[in-house]
């Protein structure tokens, strides 16, 4: 038990120092990659929160896009500075998600995934069809945040990435850990034990979307524009799902590991193999998921336990 805590603490300390120190050594390209990694950590960790409560969704691109457009429109129409715009985007995404969660209460599994996926397309079509307000397919151009300096932009996105991870830690240490677990395993049984599953599911939707909206709220300020195709890009929903699965579902570290590995590997393949990169990426994904169903974190844990025998903690749902 103690050894495990030490490992975790050391890991967090090293990672923390790396996050804060390494950027100073990097050029613009390296910093841009780190911004992307952080953005994907935010999406992946926030998706994982909703999944902790048993809600398999593909709507994260929608929540991200609402964050992006809310923030960009606030800047364009009202001259709102980006931190307030981000807050607006996050709150907007959370409100939307609470509504979606409420409407989709009775949908389970794949049906919920399909419904939330169609939300992304629906939102894109809405944005495209009111060009007087949203600028339509041309999108919105913004002036570069921090006058184009990458380092401060990275630190903002790093903050955005840390929040959903901290939220996951909080969930795991509070009553929510057991409540979300019960909803994930058997919603009816949870209700029979007095759990207001509706309220907790809607809360999970809102909390998860809040962080996705926050990331979305910053992104257009960073890349200086937003268009419907990139803001409401179904690919984002898929990645937000694949990253935690690859890293290790329901864990704190899994979504982070998955986002870091997949973003960097994806970038390496893209620059090295050109057009074939997605093929290789896809095959690698399939193999990893087939061979390591509990993700990279699970793999690492097994490797560690084989090296340093510690009493195995029982209880699958309690895995951190």
> Residues interacting with another protein, by CB under 8 A?
174-175, 178-179, 181-182, 185-186, 188-198, 313-318
Q: How far is the CB of 73 from another protein (least distance, A)?
A: 39
Q: How far apart, in whole angstroms, are the C-alpha atoms of residue 156 and residue 274?
A: 31
Residue (125 or 178) nearer to another protein, CB: 178
CB of 320 to another protein, least distance (A): 14
Of 229 and 318, nearer to another protein (C-beta) is 318
Rounded to a whole number of angstroms, the minimum distance from the CB of residue 187 to another protein is 10
Q: Which is nearer to another protein, 95 or 195 (CB)?
A: 195
d(CA 246, CA 91) in angstroms, rounded, equals 29
Within 10 Å of residue 271's Cβ, how many Cβ atoms? 9
Question: Which is nearest to 49 in space by CA: 188, 189, 201, 185?
Answer: 201
Residue 298 CB, nearest distance to another protein (Å)?
A: 14
**With respect to another protein, which residue has the nearer C-beta, 235 or 311?**
311
CB of 103 to another protein, least distance (A): 17
Q: Please give the full DSSP string across 186-233, using - where no structure is assigned.
A: -HHHHHHTT--HHHHHHHHHHHHHHHHHHHHHHHHHHHSEE-HHHHT-
Q: Which is nearer to another protein, 44 or 182 (CB)?
A: 182
* CB contact burial 302-320 (16+ within 10 A = b; e otherwise): eeeeeeeeeeeeeeeeebb
Give the CA-trace dihedral at 209, 210, 211, 215, to 10 degrees: 90
Beta-carbon-side half-sphere exposure of residue 23 (alpha carbons within 13 Å): 22
**Would you say 275 or 316 has its CB closer to another protein?**
316
Q: If we measure between CA atoms, which residue out of 165, 203, 201 comes closest to residue 184?
A: 201
Helix (H) or strand (E) holding 70: helix 60-78
Closest distance to another protein from the beta carbon of 50 (Å): 18
What is the closest distance, in whole angstroms, from the C-beta atom of residue 177 to another protein in the complex?
Answer: 8
Measured from the CB atom, the residue of 5 and 192 that comes closer to another protein is: 192
Distance CA 285, CA 25 (A): 31
């Amino acid at each position: 038990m103690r050894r495990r805590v030490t490992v975790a603490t050391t890991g967090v300390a090293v990672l923390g120092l790396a996050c804060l120190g390494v950027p100073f050594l990097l050029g613009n390209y390296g910093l841009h990659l780190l911004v992307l990694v952080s953005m994907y950590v935010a999406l992946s960790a926030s998706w994982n929160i909703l999944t902790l409560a048993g809600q398999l969704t593909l709507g994260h691109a929608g929540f991200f896009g609402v964050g992006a457009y809310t923030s960009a429109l606030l800047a364009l129409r009202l001259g709102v500075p980006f931190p307030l715009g981000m807050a607006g985007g996050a709150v907007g995404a959370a409100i939307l998600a609470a509504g979606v969660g409420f409407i989709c209460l009775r949908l389970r599994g794949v049906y919920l995934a399909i419904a939330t996926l169609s939300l992304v397309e629906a939102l894109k079509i809405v944005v495209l069809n009111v060009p007087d307000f949203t600028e339509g397919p041309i999108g919105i151009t913004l002036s570069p945040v921090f006058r184009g300096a990458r380092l401060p932009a990275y630190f903002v996105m790093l903050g955005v990435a840390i929040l959903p991870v901290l939220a996951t830690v909080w969930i795991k240490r509070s009553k929510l850990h057991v409540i979300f677990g019960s909803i994930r395993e058997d919603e009816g049984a949870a209700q029979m034990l007095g759990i207001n599953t509706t309220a907790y599911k809607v809360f999970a939707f809102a909390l998860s979307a809040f962080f996705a909206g926050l990331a979305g709220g910053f992104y257009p300020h960073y890349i200086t524009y937003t268009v419907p195709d990139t803001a409401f890009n179904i690919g984002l929903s898929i990645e937000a799902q694949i990253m935690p699965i690859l890293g290790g579902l329901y864990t704190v570290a899994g979504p982070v590991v998955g986002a870091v590995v997949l973003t960097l590997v994806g970038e390496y393949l893209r620059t090295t193999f050109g057009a074939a990169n997605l093929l290789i990426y896809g095959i690698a994904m399939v193999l990893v998921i087939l061979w390591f169903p509990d993700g990279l974190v699970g793999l690492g844990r097994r490797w560690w336990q084989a090296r340093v025998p510690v009493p195995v903690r029982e209880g699958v749902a309690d895995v951190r």
